[in-house]
Structure 1
Amino acid sequence: MSQNASLDRRGFFKKSGILALMSAVGSEIPFVRNFPGGLVPVAMAAPTMVELNIPGKSLELVVLGDKPVVAETPPHLLDSEVTPNDLMFIRNNGLVPTNINAATWTLTIGSEATPNSPARESESTKRTVTFTIAELKSKFKNYTSNLVIECGGNGRSEFNPPAKGNQWTLGGVGCPSWTGVRLKDVLEYVGLKNDAVYIGYYGSDPHLSGDATKVPISRGVPIKKALQEDALIVWEMNGAPLPIQNGYPLRLVIPGYPASVSGKWLNRIVVRNKVHDGPKMVDDYRNPCTPVEPASDVPNSNMCVIEEMPIKSLITYPASGAKFNFGDKVEIRGNAWSGIGDVKEVFVSIDFGATWIKANLKKPVNKFAWQRFSANLKFPSKGYYELWARAVDKKGVSQPMVIPGWNPKGYLNNATHRIAVKIV
């Protein structure tokens, strides 16, 4: 059961329910009367751990699926400014390609017909160009940036009624240091025409069925996003070649949007004169355009492509379940980020959101890097506590304290992060 999952137990928080709650967590709960109805205590919501030996990855990743490989990072392992290669989450849609030769790998950029559009479109680029990785490195200025990418379904396990798909808790996110060239520079070198409105990518990952005529995923972004200076075509992660599970030898990194637009094993970019319509563009990574009733059927006409990701934060220290001695000061640390690239402030609470303490917030290393926050906490008595973190972006938009609007795909959950600690 997920940490913010809803309860459907009437009377749970009546007097008898309060006693049962304290019994369940094995401790007094000093601020129990502030506990919001409809939430499960974090201590009762530990995820099931599954191990899978993935070459180059830590055994501490939590595996959500093995075909395709999907694995997330426990929050306490993300307690750093830069996410290490072995702890970076994995979200594959097809099979991992084999027999890769980075020396002969090519990337083709142009506007000719795509596998999904057999009829030739009107030309949206002035030419079609094919680059080797060595040519990308030599023709264009190289950049290194810390950039957050996050799966659009991160937090899906907390929705009720449940949404189909990989049941991410909160670990489908990371902020490595990426090295590559600006997508903007390469597109401008190829030459865009006035009718260019979208890009789409293709990779070399085989379809799960093994059918060579099928494409597992081909998504994209509007031209205005592709031309932002933070969008990169990369070949290195943290100063080393990309891990195979994270797109070796070449991938896109387009921060601020769902990680599904940051195509892996990149070999082709098409410039479109309409919204890209590749696989997982038409039916996936879409959210209701207007609020809907939970468990309702949402017509396609009310489903809009997800663009900017919401404001979010993650407590990375202490780990949920930690114990501390009464009287000790306890440091809380974590990361905060947003789809618009800036976080204004972060607040933390020890009394179920009744009061909030402003945390110290570091400036980002660069735009779209996550920002580290910290605060020192003192507890009024022994017992069970939950530490909550809530970030606010530069537009004044805050994380909600409850699960945001239900949607059938379980996307964009940015509810306040909660962990449990005991003071003994």
Structure 2
Amino acid sequence: MSKEDKPRSVGLHALYGDDPERADEAVFGRKPNPDRRGFLRGLGLGTMAAALGVSAIPFHRNMPSGLIPAALADETRPFTLKGKDGLIVLNDRPVNAETPAHLLDDEVTPKNRHFIRNNGTPPTDVDAASWELTIDGLVDKPLKLTIADLKKEFEVVTQNLAIECGGNGRAFFKPPAKGNQWTYGAVACSAWTGVRLADVLKAAGIKPGAVYTAHYGADTHLSGIPGKLPLSRGVPIKKAMGEENLIAFAMNGEDIHPMNGAPLRLVIPGWPGSCSQKWLTRIQVRDQVHDGPKMTGTAYRIPKYPVAPGQKVDEKDFVIIERMPVKSLITAPETGTKLNNRELEVRGHAWAGDREVSEVHLSIDFGATWMKADLSPPANKAAWQRFRAKVKFPEQGYYEVWARAVDSDGVSQPFGIAWNPKGYLNNSYHRVAVTVV
């Protein structure tokens, strides 16, 4: 048998993506039942329980049709990189790696657990002593600042700031969207130290007519073509002047990890992580919306109206992503946990772009009922918020813990994914598998 003729395995996500009802029957032996949502009968229920290694699924009647049990949906592999621990590789050219949810349990994300999102080849010369930042464009006083200048001339502040990749959750889009197949772990909330972007822009003096910032880094395009940039994005002036945005030179009180932008980077929390330029060398103030690489076309854009899964959308109907949506992440227990008792503390984080989170709810019966979790306030603006709750399971068997956050404007996470062609902004419920034995 030739290499081309060898049978290929099909992952559970791919099987369910084409026809969830057919997949239910093929994998678990259950046939579609229009009268009872997700109801498993006879051999079907037994087959699914056996696949999960349990004797019962107490709330199986509430399972949506086509739902892949979270215990079977975790397809990860280890990744090793100097200074990082436990990350999962998605791409090695450029390096992109996410952090499993259970390794994000700390209120302040450790440096070695912060995800990596690269677009090009990182610079090799990252000497903090000689690094310079240029502020130019539509300003009264163009500036050239070393890191020492930043520390001397501006107030130095430390803030816990959440950064999330715009494509976090892309792996769950059906039909699939191209790009790094992030699951849940392209998010972090470290303690960043630096100076306020607004303070530096004020020192330069923003001229009338300024519309947008443009950010430039020292990384190079994967093609190796001199002068070709891998990414250069920006934000509206109004957003840039927010007190939460930092030009950062330290991460958790230490040097920034090289893969996270050392020695200098922007942190623009609440908006797609691509706005937070790494290896920062220049900020230009422009009289138009920035048109650098990954700012035009459909990059970091979504349709300006809801679309059906797989629908073709004209490029002119895409709009730039700004505020990230409300979202939650269960960090304990780890999915796949087996319990010898029926009580468990559930912990996690929730965040909501430029807004705060007002409530987090948990369910153990596939969304039939919900309980409110205790929710802590953010450490500062744009930090994620800690939630926790004691959960009691009524009997032995397979359960899923679901989390749903609500932001300060009353907007809730949805159960389903708001599909878009590029696979951005998936903020559907997070769920983890728990077995009570």
Q: Is the 8 A contact 2:107 2:386 kept in 1?
A: yes
Q: Which residue of 2 aligns with 1:416?
A: 429
Q: Is the 8 A contact 2:221 2:228 kept in 1?
A: yes
- Counterpart of 2:420, as a letter, is N
Task: Give the alignment of 1:135-214 within 5 angstroms.
Answer: 135-214=149-228
Q: Which residue of 2 aligns with 1:44?
A: 72
- Percent same amino acid among aligned pairs? 56
**Deviations 1:226-252 (Å, cap 9, x if unpaired)?**
000001100000000111000000000
Q: Is the 8 A contact 1:363 1:371 kept in 2?
A: yes
Taking only aligned residues, the RMSD between alpha carbons, in angstroms, comes to 1.5
**Deviations 1:29-82 (Å, cap 9, x if unpaired)?**
00000001132111111113143x322111x10010111000000000000110
Post-superposition offset of 1:293: 2.0
Distance 1:68 1:341 in 2: 32
Secondary structure at 1:176 match in 2: strand
Post-superposition offset of 1:186: 0.4
Q: Is the 8 A contact 1:61 1:74 kept in 2?
A: yes
- Counterpart of 2:433, as a letter, is A
Q: Is the 8 A contact 1:50 1:62 kept in 2?
A: yes
Q: Does 1:288 align with 2:316?
A: no
Distance 2:149 2:338 in 1: 54
Which has the higher mean CA deviation after the structures are superposed, 274-283 or 41-50? 41-50
5+ residue gaps, structure 1, are 112-123
Q: Does 1:231 align with 2:221?
A: no
Q: Does 1:8 align with 2:20?
A: yes
5+ residue gaps, structure 2, are 1-11, 23-30, 33-37
The counterpart of 1:109, out of the listed 135, 154, 166, is 135
- Change over 3 Å in CA distance of 1:346–1:2 after alignment to 2: farther
**Deviations 1:134-185 (Å, cap 9, x if unpaired)?**
0011000011000000000000000000000000000000000000000000
Q: Which residue of 2 aligns with 1:88?
A: 114
- Counterpart of 1:402, as a letter, is G
Equivalent residues, number = 408
- Change over 3 Å in CA distance of 1:304–1:70 after alignment to 2: same
Which has the higher mean CA deviation after the structures are superposed, 335-344 or 380-389? 335-344
Q: Which residue of 2 aligns with 1:118?
A: none
TM-score, normalised relative to structure 1: 0.94
Post-superposition offset of 1:389: 0.6
Distance 1:168 1:211 in 2: 28
Q: Is the 8 A contact 2:102 2:334 kept in 1?
A: yes
Q: Which residue of 1 aligns with 2:287?
A: 273
Q: Does 1:330 align with 2:344?
A: yes
Q: Does 1:309 align with 2:324?
A: yes
Secondary structure at 2:124 match in 1: coil
Q: Does 1:18 align with 2:32?
A: no
TM-score, normalised relative to structure 2: 0.91
Q: Which residue of 2 aligns with 1:397?
A: 411
Q: Which runs of 4+ in 1 moved over 4 A?
A: none
Q: Which residue of 2 aligns with 1:61?
A: 87
Distance 1:296 1:50 in 2: 35
Distance 1:369 1:229 in 2: 13
Task: Give the alignment of 1:344-383 within 5 angstroms.
Answer: 344-383=358-397
Distance 1:174 1:48 in 2: 19
